[in-house]
């Protein structure tokens, strides 16, 4: 369950008319803070971001599902389920919550470090550049 302050910040972004990704950024920020404070760990910065995005979708942020060409079918299905969960909220399974918390507590806190997040940002940017370049190539080929 996201913290009250995170929900307030996300709603504030929504009323200002900011993009859903900006609103979701508040949830990602919350996850990174949880890692840094030692509340739980994550296998990688990418996993921490994914947890934050999942929380955002479940909180009702209208984030589009990830591009099917770039992600697995399972990830796309999970995003769809998270968006559906926002429409029909119900209390989470206590057994499942406990199991997830225990699993995350066993993981390292390194995923929230400045270095890990910087590395994630650089690789994400590199992927965007590659995709952009190949799109430009395809476009020029069509002419």
The per-residue pLDDT for range 26-51, each reduced to its tens digit, is 999 999 999 999 999 999 999 999 99
The per-residue pLDDT for range 72-105, each reduced to its tens digit, is 999 999 999 999 999 998 888 999 999 999 999 9
> Using an 8 Å Cβ cutoff, are 56 and 29 in contact?
no
| pLDDT recorded at residue 136 | 80
The model's pTM? 0.85
Cα torsion 15, 17, 20, 23: sign: negative
> Using an 8 Å Cβ cutoff, are 45 and 3 in contact?
no
Per the structure block, which two tokens stand in for 123? 């690789």
Per the structure block, which two tokens stand in for 114? 């400045």
């Amino acid at each position: 369950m996201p913290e009250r302050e995170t929900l307030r910040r996300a709603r504030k972004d929504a009323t200002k008319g900011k993009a859903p990704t900006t609103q979701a950024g508040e949830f990602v920020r919350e996850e990174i803070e949880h890692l840094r404070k030692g509340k739980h760990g994550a296998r990688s910065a990418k996993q921490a971001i994914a947890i934050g995005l999942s929380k955002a979708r479940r909180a009702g942020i209208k984030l589009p599902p990830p591009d099917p060409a770039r992600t697995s079918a399972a990830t796309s299905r999970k995003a769809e389920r998270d968006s559906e969960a926002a429409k029909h909220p119900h209390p989470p399974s206590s057994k499942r919550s406990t199991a997830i918390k225990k699993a995350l507590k066993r993981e390292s806190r390194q995923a929230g470090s400045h270095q890990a997040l910087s590395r994630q940002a650089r690789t994400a940017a590199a992927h965007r550049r590659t995709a952009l370049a190949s799109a430009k190539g395809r476009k020029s080929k069509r002419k």
